[in-house]
Amino acid sequence: MQNQTENCHMSQKVLLTSKEVNIILHRLACQLIEKHHDFSETILVGIQPRGTFLAERLKKLLEEEYNIKQIALGYLDITFFRDDFRRTEKPLEANKTKINFLVENKKVIFIDDVLYTGRSIRSALTAIQSFGRPSEIELLVLIDRRFSRHLPIQPDYRGRQVDAINNEKVKVNWIEQDGEDVVYLVTSLEK
Amino acid sequence: MKELSVNHLLGIKYINKNDIDLIFETADHFKEVINRPIKKVPSLRDITIANIFFENSTRTKLSFELAQKRLSADVISFSAAQSSVKKGETLIDTVNNILSMKVDMVVMRHASPGASYFLSKNVKASIVNAGDGAHEHPTQGLLDSYSIREKLGEVSGKKVVIVGDILHSRVALSNIYALQMQGAEVKVCGPKTLIPRYIESLGVSIEPNLRKALEWCDVANMLRVQNERMDVNYFPSTREYTQQYGIDKELLESLNKEIVIMHPGPINRGVEITSDVADSGQSVILNQVENGVAIRMAVIYLLASKIQ
């Protein structure tokens, strides 16, 4: 990261304000309830590392404001299922996987903050098989980067669709981690 | 730095504390993987590993094989007894023949100290030392520290005594290096004939009395008497060894605190350790075996990620 700031400027634009993020979260929660009712056969799975904040936020919302009892939530780390092992300079940064229940015959909802190439989700699809055979798998993302897919993977629930080009990065901040609920579009301009 | 500082695992003396921390972090993840319904990850599907064991082994060989298969690597095993080594082939030739079948990594156990180091300088593959004579057994050293960390929270500041045949033990040396690197204090205890003469130069102190050693320590690592490496009689009889350096329930319970009991295996029940101690709640012997698979998965995964 230090090398990057020496050589280029970053310009940052707000894509979603706190208020907009909040409204979207409520809307996503309602869409989930519409399909999954009381969530008795459903499991939310946050994709590490950043899907976990969104997953926890949605669980909290569903339990506290919409009175759904006891939503099952797990965290899935996909580091060992990536398809770029030994093909990239990026070092290993695995996080915890915590799925304390069988997903056999359950409806699984993968939750991630940004959907970009789709490779993380492909890895997650393989990884979840280690825990059983879900009856259905759906995908929920806060930001869908529309034309950047490398694989035929699309979300079932999307917060906002964004058209972003390659040197732009979508950064999702959460209150718990970064002090605010805001989504930025960060462009790195090389000198 | 999230990768190892070395391209081979030849001994604890060649790695540093960051490497140990990285291996332990990675092993934590793999420990979770081996407790899932499907205990496999696909990461090493394009890697082939040869396990070459010139000395007998059950536990280490199985542990390595299992670790490799859980990572989805292709595994071939070779044991000296049924091999061309009997027909007079040299070590380098044996290994190069195997490597020309496009093998990426070699896990080797050999009777000569330095054999893996020698191999790493002469063949093109990633080498893991599974024990070279009485020199080092790095994965055992790592899994022993990992087991201490699991039971006691951390290794730093802990007092560990290694008991038994230190002279012929590669487990002892790897443990000494690993424990000291993590800030633990190490003592050795055993018959004078089985303690190497200049061991204190490694920063390790000697305690000839077993009871005193056990009262001092937090962890006792009991070693097996390595009869197969003994060219002369190092003590008068096995019974005398057991009386002075064997641990039993009475001795364990008479100590003023609860210590952790470890053993690299195989156990000689009734010699260095009695059944009731080996099977007691203070023993982590079977955890060591489970941790061995996770540690070996971590080591192999991290070394494989450096193969071009």
On chain A, the residues whose CB falls within 8 A of the CB of B304 are 86
pLDDT tens sequence across A101-148: 889 999 999 999 999 999 999 999 999 999 999 999 999 999 999 888
Within an 8 Å CB–CB cutoff, is residue A85 touching chain B? yes
| Nearest C-alpha neighbor of B168 from the set B131, B200, B143 | B131
- All domains in chain A, ordered by first residue: 2-190 (3.40.50.2020)
- In the numeric block, which tokens belong to residue B305? 């990620």
CA distance B139 to B295: 7
Closest-approach residue (CA) in chain A for B301: A80
B2 vs A contacts (CB less than 8 Å): 91-93
* Helices of type H across B125-248: 138-152, 170-181, 210-216, 238-245
Q: What is the pLDDT of residues A17-68, one digit of tens each?
A: 999 999 999 999 999 999 998 899 999 999 999 999 999 999 999 999 999 9
Domains B12-136+289-304 and B138-288 share a fold: yes
Residues with Cβ within 8 Å of B197's Cβ and at least 6 positions away in sequence, in order, are none
How far is the C-alpha of A161 from the C-alpha of A184, rounded, in Å? 13
CA–CA dist A140, A124 (Å, integer): 13
Residue A162 has pLDDT above 50, yes or no: yes
Closest alpha carbon to B119 in B11, B269, B227: B11
**CA–CA gap between residue A21 and residue A129 (Å, rounded):** 32
CB contact under 8 A, B26 and A130: no
B51 to chain A, closest Cα gap in Å: 22
* Total number of residues shown for chain A: 191
**CB contact A86 to B (< 8 Å):** yes
Q: What is the pLDDT of residues A63-79, one digit of tens each?
A: 999 999 889 999 999 99
Q: Of A101, A119, A109, whose CA–CA distance to A42 is shortest?
A: A109
Buried/exposed code over A117-152 (b: 16+ C-beta within 10 A; e: otherwise):
ebbbbbbbbebbebbbebeebbbbbbbbbeebbeee
Measured over the CA atoms of residue A42, residue A47, residue A52 and residue A57, the dihedral's sign is negative
Q: Report the residue from B2, B37, B307 with minimal CB separation from A91.
A: B2
- From the first residue on, what is the mean pLDDT of each consecutive set of 10 residues in chain B (308 residues)? 89 96 95 91 93 88 96 89 71 83 92 93 93 95 97 96 94 97 96 93 95 96 81 82 92 93 90 92 94 97 91
- CATH code for the part of the protein at B138-288: 3.40.50.1370
Tokens of B68: 């490799």
Question: How far A63 CA lies from chain B's nearest CA (Å)?
Answer: 28
At the topology level, CATH places domain B12-136+289-304 in Rossmann fold (3.40.50)
Long-range contacts of B242-245 (CB under 8 A, 24+ apart): B242/B270, B242/B271, B242/B272, B244/B191, B244/B210, B245/B163, B245/B164, B245/B189, B245/B190, B245/B191, B245/B210, B245/B272
pTM, to two decimals = 0.89
Tell me the ipTM for this assembly: 0.80
Domain boundaries of chain B, sorted by first residue: 12-136+289-304, 138-288
